[in-house]
Amino acid sequence: MINYSYTILIPLIPFIVFLFTGLTGHRMKPVVSGIIGSAGLGIAAILSYYTAWQYFWHSHVAGSAYVPVKAFEVTWLRLNENLVINLGSLLDPISVMMLIVITTVSLMVHIYSIGYMKGERGYHRFFSFLSLFSFSMLGLVLATNIFQMYIFWELVGVSSFLLIGFYYEKPSAVAASKKAFIVTRFADLGFLIGILMLSFTTKTFDFISLTSPGGPAIASAGGATFLGFSVLVWSLIFIFMGGAGKSAMFPLHIWLPDAMEGPTPVSALIHAATMVVAGVYLVARLFPVFALGAPDALHVVAWVGGFSSLFAAVIACTQTDIKRVLAYSTMSQIGYMMLALGVSGYGGHEGLGFMASNWHLFTHAFFKSLLFLGAGAVIHAVHSNDMRDMGGLRKYLPVTHITFLIACFAIAGVPGFSGFFSKDEILSAAFEHNRVLFFIEYAVAGITAFYMFRLYYNIFWAKETHYHHTPHEAPYIMTIPLMILAFGSVFAGYLPFSHLVTSDGLPFAAHINWSVAIPSIIIALAGIGVATFMYMKTNGLPDKIANAIPHFYKWAYHKFYFDEIYLFVTKKIIFRYISTPIAWFDRHIVDGTMNGIAGLTQLTSNSIKDFQSGRLQQYGFVFVSGAVALALIFIFLW
């Protein structure tokens, strides 16, 4: 038995850094707080790599299953004999994989931000929030039980609220951070209900006993039913609601595009690689329960994922804010991951979707954070988010250009780049289990290639716009992280993932399924081709196409009016038809009646009218009538 207890340091170091820079940051030179933050994350990253090496290779007997290891655990609350809440860290293939993803991307973002945030007010505040976020996210993935996960889940929400609202002087940033917080809180309501239901049917919070194939959760699958589903299915659907909120799945996606108001490195960290995939991680974490105990819940996951990926991809084609294009692209890619989990079975080759989903999570983290950081470098150079203000930048930003292109190839699924391998496994898994979703994903693959290259050409090719001053390449502190991530975007596809991260811990052999892969390559290249034709040189074609389908284009451009629908429901329906009538009733009926009574009393008791406010009688009246009404109800009606 190897001692992994040092892994507790991985989340703890960012936390200490957060406290330190948060409390003393304003006394030091700004750049020092950035260096301290990066150094802390660097140590956490080294420890994570060491953990991964030890877990996957050093302590592992080739061919045997990877078993979950509790590196550290303390009892925190003892609710009763069976329901105990612990705090600890759990190591298994997916949590170790997430450690690598989080620390790597976070480290890159820290280093990049030293350059990007230069001269911003609240520099040290930014870095202390980044460390807080990293701590929460690491605590989330290491959670040994669902309750601990929930606590860190909320902490992640709080820290992302702080980061999105970092430019708190900008009203739109404040509105966006509030929106993100409230929408995800609403989703977390489902999560909490799901946790309560799950823990009461299974009598445990612990992930290991929940997910062991003979464990209480899976054994309870045949229990009482409600509306045709067992309690277990309902609880998992509620839990998935929490995951869908964090992962911006339809219809809880509305916060993600607005969250782009935050600083760009934050988008790269939170909205590309870490927080938004927490929902995928949650489903993957409970995967055996889903697959063995509640396949119905898994269908929900698959369809929500599949629909979101298509929905977001269509919107992405019409947006002109480069960060919003990337935001919708993220939503679409996470839809892919959810779908892959949804179509997966448990064990061996059946679990292909599970493996593919985690693999795509891994590769996506690299290329999507690279795209965001690249977009950040572009925004840094031209001081605009809108692709119509860009064009011809390849001459001015050579490093950004090449790394961005690599990421575009990776996300489009061009052979040789990481995205190709992971996407191919997802498509194969969908092909084997659900043909409808499989064809949807083919379409999404083509649309993805199209909108990514639309973005690419509009930024780096097309007609050069007139710039106020010549754009210049970002400093090395920003371009070096780009290069490192570009390296990952290419080579993350060559890892033997099916030997490391599988649904049951046992390695299996996954091959590229060429009958699925070749059409997908053709579709991707077709998407790129169309984009090249339309956008490489500025011409009238895009407008013509938009004008040919005006309604659909406008509809998609306005994100299918989802924000408006939500506003309508909250403002018009809830406020107008529920709150306003209550207020009206209160003001007119209650007060009116009472004023009448009070008026009558005032007439008869002029001598003491100054002493009586009139309203006290109203209070007494309500009190007595309340008591009498309750008495009547309970004596005669009940």
Contact set with another protein (CB under 8 A)? 75-80, 85, 150-151, 154-155, 158, 165, 168-169, 174, 178, 181-182, 185-186, 189, 192-193, 196-197, 200, 579, 582-583, 613, 615-616, 618-620, 622-624, 626-627, 630-631, 634-635, 638
CB of 629 vs another protein, minimal distance in Å = 8
Q: 103 vs 199, which CB is nearer to another protein?
A: 199
Of 161, 157, 230, which Cα lies nearest the Cα of 187? 157
Q: Compute CA 518 distance to the chain's CA centroid, rounded to the nearest angstrom.
A: 31
CB of 627 vs another protein, minimal distance in Å = 4
CB of 636 vs another protein, minimal distance in Å = 8
**Could you give the angle at the alpha carbon of 51 between the alpha carbons of 45 and 57, nearest 5°?**
130
CB of 16 vs another protein, minimal distance in Å = 17
CB 542 within 8 A of CB 535: yes
Q: 232 vs 462, which CB is nearer to another protein?
A: 232
CB of 622 vs another protein, minimal distance in Å = 5
Supply φ then ψ for residue 251, to 5 degrees. Answer: -100, 20
C-alpha atoms less than 13 angstroms from C-alpha of 206 in its C-beta half-sphere:
21
| Distance in angstroms (rounded) separating the CA atoms of residues 121 and 142 | 33
| Distance in angstroms (rounded) separating the CA atoms of residues 185 and 242 | 8
In a 3-state reduction of DSSP, which class is residue 472?
Answer: coil
CB of 582 vs another protein, minimal distance in Å = 6
Of 12, 45, 24, 44, which Cα lies nearest the Cα of 124? 24
| Distance in angstroms (rounded) separating the CA atoms of residues 441 and 547 | 27
Q: 75 vs 547, which CB is nearer to another protein?
A: 75
Of 97, 64, 65, 69, which Cα lies nearest the Cα of 2? 69
CB of 8 vs another protein, minimal distance in Å = 16
Q: Which two tokens stand for residue 239?
A: 């839990």
Q: 157 vs 306, which CB is nearer to another protein?
A: 157
Helices 398-412 and 435-460, axial angle in degrees (round to 10): 170
Q: 193 vs 536, which CB is nearer to another protein?
A: 193
CB of 32 vs another protein, minimal distance in Å = 22
Q: Which two tokens stand for residue 168?
A: 């708190």
Q: 65 vs 627, which CB is nearer to another protein?
A: 627
CB of 10 vs another protein, minimal distance in Å = 19
| Distance in angstroms (rounded) separating the CA atoms of residues 348 and 327 | 34
Q: 193 vs 483, which CB is nearer to another protein?
A: 193
Q: 540 vs 634, which CB is nearer to another protein?
A: 634
In a 3-state reduction of DSSP, which class is residue 75?
Answer: strand
**CA distances in angstroms from 517 to 200, 275, 513, 624, listed in the order given:** 45, 30, 6, 76
Q: 436 vs 582, which CB is nearer to another protein?
A: 582
